[in-house]
Amino acid sequence: MAVSGFEGFEKRLELQFSSDNNSTEPIGIGLREIDFESVEQVLHLVQCSVVSALGNQHFDSYVLSESSLFIYPTKIIIKTCGTTQLLKSVHPFILLAQSLVNLRVTSIRYTRGSFIFPLAQPHPHTNFHEEVLYLEDNIPETLCYRKASVIPSKLTCHSWHVFSADSDHHHIDMPLYTTVEVCMTDLDPTLARKFFRFPNDGKNGDSAGKEMTGITGINRINPNAKICDFAFDPCGYSMNGLDGHRYSTIHVTPEDGFSYASFECVVDSIQNNDDDIMADMVKKAVKVFGPRTVSVATTSATTETCMRINAVLEKQVGMKCRSYSMDDFPAAGTVVFQTFTTRRNNNNNNNRI
């Protein structure tokens, strides 16, 4: 049996919480009160660990051995790559929120792309059906509005998997955000080599990561962001960017044959110029890696956001939109999934799960 390479495509989980109905206590810093030891115990179940951390007045950010974790007062976002068992964090995080800070979960969203090496994934990630069954068994019955869907693409190896669940009293006065998840494959080899370290370079992961952030231009994607970065040995890179209450994150698997990079960011849906800001950040991120194929999943998006992303990738990056699909989900809102390729792309479209 052929040995699989490293799985770059992340699994992403977002948990939204609110005060218990009978609680009159202010939330304050909420989930940020959860002690680091408890967080580490959950990550141990997922099979990853914290390699670097940074926080501000709005949220705590952790770079993981496999991707990232963000903890807000009422929200947890965790994404992990490789063969991690991300969904094993669902029930423990819900219990921690209830027992330590008296918060109950009000909505859940799980997303991922199509794995490059699906046969290497352990339970419960062997396929999307198993993932949905696991989620159904590990979330409270109060999340009664549920939907699971695979949003297809004309490129048969690229699909977007979404599971969303919401309670019947989801707060409509929550801040509205647009989240963009960008998955890039077949990176330009010259650009990908910048994410390899020289043997015995005398640097640690933090210093090597800071150097990669500078030489690749990642620090110019959002100049306002404070960056927490880490370079792995012998190759690979992760960063979290903190810009007020908004985050961004990048993860890179640069090896030939299964090279992959992801970029994710969130902006305020109600801000007039944030569509332009988001489209510009996506353009800059794609140019850092020079991929042959790009998948973009935009959640709670306006039509204008998708049009701007489409325009900058086609006109300024020289890519062609090959597919455009959308679906609606409880709590999550509308998800638009687009795939782009370089005009000379001749990728083999092997089926993925």
CB neighbours (10 Å) of residue 347?
14
Catalytic-role residue among 18, 61, 65, 67: 67
161 tagged catalytic: no
Catalytic-role residue among 10, 131, 181, 255: 10
The C-alpha atoms of residue 239 and residue 227 are separated, in whole angstroms, by 7
Q: Residues 161, 104: contact at Cβ < 8 Å?
A: no
306 tagged catalytic: no
Catalytic-role residue among 61, 68, 81, 259: 81
Catalytic-role residue among 107, 164, 251, 265: 251
Name residue 19's beta-bridge partners: 103
Helix 90-101 × helix 128-138 angle, to 10°? 20
67 tagged catalytic: yes
Catalytic-role residue among 61, 65, 153, 238: 238
The C-alpha atoms of residue 265 and residue 248 are separated, in whole angstroms, by 4
81 tagged catalytic: yes
Active site residues: 7, 10, 67, 81, 238, 251
